[in-house]
Amino acid sequence: MRFSSPFNAAAAASAGYLGRRVQAFAPSPRAAALPLPLSNDRWLTTFSNNGNRRDNTRIPSPLSASAAPLHDESLAPGIAAIDAALPALSPLLSELRSLPYFSLYSCDMLASCEYLPQELFECYTESCEIYPVDDDEVPTDIKAADFDEHEFELDGWARWDMPSDDYYDTTVFPEDYTGYDGSDVWRFVHDRIGFHDGAVAADEYDADDWKADFNKAVSGLHAMVSAQVVKGMQDKIGSGEGLDPESYPWTDPVAEFRRRLGPQGETPEAVENLYFTMMLLLSGVRAARERLLADCDAGKVGDARSCDVLRSILSHPLLDDPAVEAASRRLREHALLDSNGLWEARMRTRDLMRIMNCVQCNKCRFHGKISTLGLSTALQLAVGHRGTGGDAAKVHRVELAALVTAMSKFLAGIELCLQMQ
């Protein structure tokens, strides 16, 4: 696990945050006797030479969206920058996502699951279902671009569904809490697609290895989906719709937040990993900025107002803040040390896309595919094939749309975590 100094390592060790899951760590007798963090703070406890405790000092944590201490302190400035930019970016991204360029995706909703044995399953609620839009609602230039750009690299980062006449609209079928239990799919993602060998066997998220960076990014993806679930629960309760226990297995958003995203929950680093992946997406959008602006100038994105919104996002200081480059810089530094092994990351990112065909809630499958494509595009731009970064000019329309959409999803997830604190 990485810390910026022995001082921070001691503080985290004293709090007992040494593993991915709370039940996985075994603190020393001395650490077990020390107080756990009460809020967004950590305790620094010093000892005299004979081992007696000398004093306690409360150390504020930079992670406002969680009470858990940061494991990678280099992320702190980027996290603060994201939190500060959220009020300005959130409404702009919401408006941008209403445009057909960013909301329409030709997606194979009938593909078979290739990774898990499954029985025919009916989702708990009707909200699981989605339907394609009418043909005349899909702009001809979007359909033409997707068909023209259907080719892909066999050894590339992404393997998107081949375009067809069936397009689905995220504005018609937005993120929602459907009651679907995807735990089997997520178990496969973490246990089989994630890495567990070498240095990551001892520290799966913060080992000095690109495999830990990959795990951290995938964990961030899971955290974003968990935030969407909690937000969906809140929305249903707030609208008066309620949550029937016979249709929805989870009905308490506070309890679910603590279980999924809390510092004493299933993954104590979940919120930190959420920010890590958000930084990768921000770096990806920054790398694709000129390509997005070119599509805007060519009239592919939308009208003048739409382009103004896109330019406002792409010119926001957050994208050029060196602090948010911490995640992609860490990934590139690790990748350059083992560029011959990056084929494993590309293969598993493609697997991450394909495992979404095992999701038996169509709305969840649809949004899962968009989110994983956005993440794979960010990884492609950050690392490329040799660790030096990818070529934004070769990125397809659907990848650009998924990248920006995923960034919006992650920002909404961070907003939910901040509200829940």
pLDDT digit string, tens, across residues 145-185: 999 998 888 888 988 999 999 999 999 999 999 999 999 99
Q: Which residues contact 236 (CB under 8 A, 6 or more apart)?
A: 177, 242, 243
Residue 306 and residue 421 in contact, taking contact as beta carbons nearer than 8 Å: no
Report the C-alpha gap between 254 and 199 in whole angstroms: 35
The amino acid that residue 120 corresponds to is: L
pLDDT for 55 equals 47
pLDDT for 21 equals 33
Neighbours of 28 (CB within 10 A): 12
Q: Are strands 104-106 and 53-60 parallel, antiparallel or unpaired?
A: unpaired
pLDDT for 94 equals 96
Low-confidence winner among 14-28, 173-187, 228-242, 378-392 (lowest mean pLDDT) = 14-28
Low-confidence winner among 102-106, 213-217, 392-396 (lowest mean pLDDT) = 392-396
Largest CA distance in the chain: 78
pLDDT for 121 equals 66
**DSSP characters over 199-221:** GGGT-TTTSSSHHHHHHHHHHHH
Q: What distances in angstroms separate CA 315 from CA 281, 292, 310, 327, 393, one per listed residue? A: 15, 12, 9, 20, 19
pLDDT digits (tens, 9 = 90+) for 46-64: 444 444 444 444 444 557 8
pLDDT for 124 equals 60
Residue 45 pairs in a beta bridge with 56
Report the C-alpha gap between 196 and 211 in whole angstroms: 8
Q: What percent of the chain has pLDDT over 70?
A: 84
pLDDT for 8 equals 37
- pTM for the structure as a whole: 0.85
Number of H helices, E strands in the chain: 15, 4
Report the C-alpha gap between 230 and 84 in whole angstroms: 23
State mean pLDDT over 135-151: 94
- Is the pLDDT at 328 greater than 90? The verdict is yes
- Is the pLDDT at 226 greater than 80? The verdict is yes
- Is the pLDDT at 203 greater than 80? The verdict is yes
Report the C-alpha gap between 374 and 241 in whole angstroms: 32
Report the C-alpha gap between 295 and 297 in whole angstroms: 6
pLDDT for 62 equals 56
106 SS3 class: strand
**55 phi and psi, to 5 degrees?**
-160, 165
Banded model confidence at residue 322, pLDDT cuts 50, 70, 90: very high
| b/e code 246-269 from CB counts within 10 Å (16+ = b) | eebebbebeebbbbbbbbebbbbb
pLDDT for 204 equals 94
pLDDT for 5 equals 33
Average pLDDT of every residue of the chain: 86
Report the C-alpha gap between 315 and 100 in whole angstroms: 22
Banded model confidence at residue 69, pLDDT cuts 50, 70, 90: confident
175 SS3 class: coil
State mean pLDDT over 59-81: 83
pLDDT digits (tens, 9 = 90+) for 276-295: 999 999 999 999 999 999 99
Banded model confidence at residue 263, pLDDT cuts 50, 70, 90: very high
State mean pLDDT over 120-146: 87
Q: Is the Cα torsion angle 36, 231, 413, 176 positive or negative in sign?
A: positive
State mean pLDDT over 356-361: 95
pLDDT for 3 equals 34
Name the residue with higher pLDDT: 264 or 52.
264
| b/e code 314-340 from CB counts within 10 Å (16+ = b) | bebebbebebbbbbbebbbebbeeeee
Banded model confidence at residue 333, pLDDT cuts 50, 70, 90: very high
- DSSP-assigned letter for residue 80: H
Neighbours of 29 (CB within 10 A): 6
Report the C-alpha gap between 255 and 290 in whole angstroms: 43
State mean pLDDT over 78-89: 97
